[in-house]
Structure 1
Amino acid sequence: MDPLYHHQMAISILTGGWLSEGCFFRAPLYPYFLALLYKIFGVNLLIPRIGQAIIGSFSCLLVYHLGKKVFSKKVGLIAGLVSAFYPLLIYFDGELLLTNLLIFLLLLAFYLLLNGRMFLSGLFFGLSAITRPNILLFLFLFLLINLRNRKKVFPFFLGVILPIIPVALRNYIKGKDIVLIAWQGGINFYIGNNPESDGITAIIPNTRGSWWGGFYDARRIAEEEMKRELKPSEIDRFWLKKGIEFILKNPKKAFLLFLKKTYLFFNGYEISNNRDIYLFSRFTYLKYLIHKLPFFFFPFGLLFPLSLIGIYFSQREKKKEGILYLFLISYSLSFILFFVTARYRMPLIPILIIFASYGGIRLFKERSQSIPFAIFSVAYILFNIDPFRITSPNLGQSYTTIALAKKEAGDDEGAYQLALKAIKEDSLWVEAYNLIGVILTEKNRLVEAKKVFEKSLIINPYLPETYHNLGNLSYAEGEREKAKEFYRTAIRLDPYAARSYNNLGNIYLEEGKMKEALELYEKAYNLEPLFDIALFHSGLVYYYLGEKSKAFSIWKKVLKINPKNKLARLALQELK
């Protein structure tokens, strides 16, 4: 879900202007990085992955230099090599996620910091903050500790705020609201601190599992409860307040949840968020490097105990890497307070690799010492078990994710079979039923499709997507009034259901109700600025109303959003 969001956001930046609209919901640097690549090389999903592979290589070089600076050249060499082959670093280099860029920025910032380049170090920490705002906790503590050293603090602070101030100003100008970087924090805090939280599930209870569905539901629930339209910062505070209320009303439960999240954050098992890491790695050579076996979660289940040995030896010898300890603690805490997944701890991996490399060397040299072996043994046993039974992920969700990708690629039969497999794994996974119903509708197997959608409604009668799909089915059956009712129900359940607005507009267009159709198309496009079909249809209305120049400019804009839109290309040729 997050890779798709980043891709869509990057295209939106290109088509809607580099400043885009509204306050940033998520930190903006990575989508802008993607947009820059798309601008230079064209919209191509391979180019960012090649770019990230190059960035990942430079990160390995920085790990070498940090290991050399903190410990020795030997430690640096080992740490750099381990980083180059660490499977999760390779895995996330290939994902359209901010992980790769964030790791590079942080490593470069630490390298500059340890070499006394305070302004430049602060600058790259600032860039890290507008990539992942959680880094602000570390920066606050670092500045607090060094407050008396003005010569050191001032250039560092100047560097930090240099990238942040333009983001805050842009949010105020474009969103008419005071948002420092992004307004996602309160929602994420409630996700990890509510009566139903398990510490790892990344959605608010009783909201949809899709990215945009969850986003719109969080906004809708807040506005319905407050009985007015809310600014982004107000939505942020609404969910933050609810999370704090849960903690204050349930201190024991909240504390136990905090302990659980702490344990899971350092557990060897890789907790997936967007896609099941273990399942998807089966399709690559990484299946030989990522393992979940009884009492053996590789690689983190081995890395973390080894890193603790390195920390033990470095503490005993009073080596000066306190800044790295501060980062490890503060960055970990900044996520444990919310919810935890494997990718959130990835920026810790290079630092842990450095400590693990040092610990491994010292352990080999001092094999007779019992304390390091005891630390390793206890940590290995503790963090390579699964007391919370999280190693059995929802395969229904994973198979549905792959099925959706196959559907997008045009492989309907492959998607259909995988959706059936998803239902076999989880008979209540409603998204799989909906996908099967959509495929059957497109194949004109309407009776079968209707039964599938009815089954979906039994499982979850409040899912807007199901009513939208039933609207499409009714329209295919020629029952326009019934289709309209289904689309209206979908909109009532989800006021941000852009596709339902569009399809309802299609019916009004066919009925000759141009004004109503145009309002619905514009509503759909305003909700989703990348929804080129809704924009095309609005151009169609202007064409029928005789405003051909207006239609021409709209269809030109459609091709900017989606150069592959054949209808817009044909329409423009007709006008010429």
Structure 2
Amino acid sequence: MHFYDDWARRIVSGQFTDHLAFYGLPGYAYLLAALYKLAGYGPFVPALLQALLDAATAVLIYKISVAIFSGTGMRCAQIAGLVAAGGWAVFVPAQTYAAILMPTAWLVFIFWLILWRIIRQKNAPGRCEALILGLLVGLTATAIATILFLIPLLISAIVLKPAISNHSQFRTRISALVLLFLGAAAGTSPCWVHNCLVAQDRVFLSAHSGINFWIGNNPSANGYPRFPPGLRAGQAAMLQDSIDAAESAAGHSLKRGEVSRYWSAKARAYIERHPAAWLRLLAVKLRTVWSAFQYDDLSIITILREQKVTFPGIYFGLVATLALPMMLLLWNTAPLSRWITAAIVLHLLALLPVFTTERYRLPIVPGLLVFAAFGLITFFNNVVAGKFNSVISYGALLAVSTLFVSWPQSDPSLWALDAYNSGWQALESGDLTLAEKKLQLARAYVPTNPETNFALGNLRLAEGNSAAASAFYLATLQLDNHHRGALNNLGVMALDCGKFDAAENWLRHAEDVDPGNAKIHFLLAKTLLAKDEHELAREEIEIAIRLQPNQIEFQQLKQKIEN
């Protein structure tokens, strides 16, 4: 997506660091930058690599299925593996995230590559393999930190599986554990070395962990990334707002690590003051992870499906429903399946401190497909063989699983998300008819959402209906009187109409909300120049130039004011 693409382009242009701690995991951005440098700018090569990784994940799913279920008969295990791999090929979220510039496909492949290495070997990982696996986990964590939760699984493999060496097994295991941690430390070193030595800030991977912790643990949290008041939607905008809010509360500029600690402290304070509410929130999060409801905060799954970029296929709800019964039934009969169950549980534990989105739970889907496919094959075989006790047991667990996974979401704002994001995307691409349809649907779900009203105002403005646009912007301000976009647009509209006093009023309000926005100071300078207030206009344009010195239009306006 734009966040990583923009970051990679800055790196290619020579801006390797801003000398501040990373505020967003950097691994994927630097990988993209390397690909752009080698193959030229464009999404084709990264997307091709991700498609190949997605195909390789299907191969791993097949191999894991065969390794786990070969004891039940090789033919049955192979059929289950083919069904599971085929399920991954038509799993719509997997198709989506393999096609866009995000690190999800890389994480899923490496996650299951590590699981395959654990499952296929009877012996514990040796010293060399422990070092390599630790390095792989560490490097991947620079792009998606949740993979660090696989370290307990690797520790278990080293400790519980028989060692290869017959001599001094204790020393062999200890050395393998040490090398595992050394590999993880080396893999993550690009982050912590940069943060500690270059930025002089005590941050391990990225300082945005604090705001994620707050989004997942605050009075309005619901298990999904619902942004609290004061934080805009969109990755880059939300991160900047979180910095501005922390610095505003502190009354001075902060290091990125201090910003992270500010938000973490707010989250911990909420947990300490409301322990019962927080425990209920954890239960809600656990349900949202397994829910058939698709919460894609980018709505890219729906957008690509509607544009026929991805093929029709299956979704999380079906896979989870079929998998949960077999996770229980196979615990004793297929001991190797416990490694998959443990990996799924560890990944869920990684999500509980924050929140769930479709891409966050995608890494567990290959394991669920392994269980779901074998369950279907076993069910069919039991029906054919007349083993009706097993059929009834599976059917009863499947009924419970169906009820649990399909439990409905009653919050209308959750249902409005896809419609809003699809509408905004259509508006950005100039498809005003589709934008009207989607944004009106989102507003029907939640008429009091300020962002939806703001988007409809932008739509009316694009249609040339200034009066209707103004009405929607005013409605936005009634719902959120600090909405910078609405204030800014009302100011621009007033300026274009020659209503300079009204324009200054709106832009002054926008300036109060976002004093570090160079564009607002530029617009204020234009307004004040139109009012012949040259000295005030000069002050505003100098602020704008100080904030963004390379903007040519700012320099041109300054010359106009001085002349």
**Band the TM-score falls in, shorter-chain normalisation:** 0.7 to 0.9
Write the distance in 2 (CA, Å) between the matches of 1:418 and 1:312.
41
Q: What residue is the counterpart of 1:138 in the other structure? A: 150
Match status 1:497 vs 2:517? yes
Match for 1:84 among 70, 89, 107? 89
The alpha carbon displacement at 1:476 in A equals 0.9
SS at 2:193 equivalent? helix
The alpha carbon displacement at 1:416 in A equals 5.6
SS at 1:71 equivalent? helix
Write the distance in 2 (CA, Å) between the matches of 1:329 and 1:501.
50
Q: What residue is the counterpart of 1:152 in the other structure? A: 176
Instruction: Count residues with an aligned counterpart.
Output: 526
Q: What residue is the counterpart of 1:451 in the other structure? A: 471
Match status 1:461 vs 2:481? yes
- Check whether the contact 2:57–2:108 (CA below 8 A) recurs between aligned residues: yes
Q: What residue is the counterpart of 2:162 in the other structure? A: none
- Check whether the contact 2:23–2:239 (CA below 8 A) recurs between aligned residues: no
Match status 1:227 vs 2:232? no
Unpaired segments ≥5 residues, structure 1? 291-298, 526-533, 547-576
- Check whether the contact 1:518–1:541 (CA below 8 A) recurs between aligned residues: no
Q: What residue is the counterpart of 1:470 in the other structure? A: 490
Q: What residue is the counterpart of 2:346 in the other structure? A: 330
The alpha carbon displacement at 1:380 in A equals 2.1
The alpha carbon displacement at 1:277 in A equals 4.3
Match for 2:406 among 369, 384, 392? 384
Q: What residue is the counterpart of 1:14 in the other structure? A: 12
Q: What residue is the counterpart of 2:199 in the other structure? A: 175
Write the distance in 1 (CA, Å) between the matches of 2:456 and 2:91.
38
- Check whether the contact 1:124–1:160 (CA below 8 A) recurs between aligned residues: yes
The alpha carbon displacement at 1:493 in A equals 0.9
Match for 1:129 among 141, 154, 157? 141
Matches within 5 A, 1:182-197: 182-197=206-221
Deviates further, 329-338 or 211-220: 211-220
Write the distance in 2 (CA, Å) between the matches of 1:418 and 1:375.
38
Cα distance change of structure 1 residues 323 and 536 upon mapping to structure 2, 3 Å threshold: farther
Structure with higher RCO (Cα < 8 A, 6+ apart): 2
- Check whether the contact 1:521–1:537 (CA below 8 A) recurs between aligned residues: no
The alpha carbon displacement at 1:514 in A equals 6.0
CA RMSD, aligned part only? 3.3
Cα distance change of structure 1 residues 264 and 391 upon mapping to structure 2, 3 Å threshold: farther
Write the distance in 1 (CA, Å) between the matches of 2:95 and 2:462.
38
Cα distance change of structure 1 residues 497 and 314 upon mapping to structure 2, 3 Å threshold: same
Write the distance in 2 (CA, Å) between the matches of 1:196 and 1:176.
34
The alpha carbon displacement at 1:167 in A equals 1.3
Match for 2:503 among 483, 500, 505? 483
Cα distance change of structure 1 residues 302 and 424 upon mapping to structure 2, 3 Å threshold: closer
Per-residue CA deviation, residues 85-127 of structure 1 (Å, 9 max, x unaligned), is: 2222112222333211211121223334445432222222112
Per-residue CA deviation, residues 176-202 of structure 1 (Å, 9 max, x unaligned), is: 312111122221222122222111243
SS at 1:134 equivalent? helix
The alpha carbon displacement at 1:443 in A equals 6.7
Q: What residue is the counterpart of 2:332 in the other structure? A: 316
The alpha carbon displacement at 1:489 in A equals 2.0
Match for 2:48 among 37, 47, 50? 50
The alpha carbon displacement at 1:218 in A equals 2.4
SS at 1:495 equivalent? coil
Matches within 5 A, 1:339-488: 339-367=355-383, 368=387, 369=390, 370-386=392-408, 388-389=409-410, 393-395=414-416, 397-411=417-431, 415=435, 419-420=439-440, 422-438=442-458, 441=461, 445-480=465-500, 482-488=502-508
Deviates further, 64-73 or 123-132: 64-73
SS at 1:128 equivalent? helix
Cα distance change of structure 1 residues 436 and 374 upon mapping to structure 2, 3 Å threshold: closer
Q: What residue is the counterpart of 2:186 in the other structure? A: 162
SS at 1:51 equivalent? helix
- Check whether the contact 2:134–2:187 (CA below 8 A) recurs between aligned residues: no
Write the distance in 1 (CA, Å) between the matches of 2:266 and 2:508.
31
Match for 1:303 among 307, 319, 329? 319
Cα distance change of structure 1 residues 416 and 118 upon mapping to structure 2, 3 Å threshold: same
Write the distance in 1 (CA, Å) between the matches of 2:294 and 2:49.
25
- Check whether the contact 1:204–1:218 (CA below 8 A) recurs between aligned residues: no
Scaled by the length of structure 1, the TM-score of the pair is: 0.81
- Check whether the contact 1:106–1:124 (CA below 8 A) recurs between aligned residues: no
Write the distance in 1 (CA, Å) between the matches of 2:516 and 2:108.
35
Cα distance change of structure 1 residues 215 and 329 upon mapping to structure 2, 3 Å threshold: same
Write the distance in 2 (CA, Å) between the matches of 1:206 and 1:514.
30
- Check whether the contact 2:92–2:301 (CA below 8 A) recurs between aligned residues: no
Matches within 5 A, 1:96-115: 96-114=101-119, 115=121
SS at 2:278 equivalent? helix
Match for 2:24 among 23, 26, 40? 26
Per-residue CA deviation, residues 318-376 of structure 1 (Å, 9 max, x unaligned), is: 62354433321111011122212222110011122223333333344445224333322
- Check whether the contact 1:505–1:521 (CA below 8 A) recurs between aligned residues: no
Write the distance in 2 (CA, Å) between the matches of 1:409 and 1:342.
24
Unpaired segments ≥5 residues, structure 2? 71-76, 160-169
Deviates further, 439-448 or 42-51: 439-448
Q: What residue is the counterpart of 1:268 in the other structure? A: 292
Per-residue CA deviation, residues 497-525 of structure 1 (Å, 9 max, x unaligned), is: 34324434555788596675243134146
The alpha carbon displacement at 1:468 in A equals 0.9
Scaled by the length of structure 2, the TM-score of the pair is: 0.82
- Check whether the contact 2:331–2:338 (CA below 8 A) recurs between aligned residues: no
Cα distance change of structure 1 residues 174 and 536 upon mapping to structure 2, 3 Å threshold: farther
Write the distance in 1 (CA, Å) between the matches of 2:428 and 2:262.
36
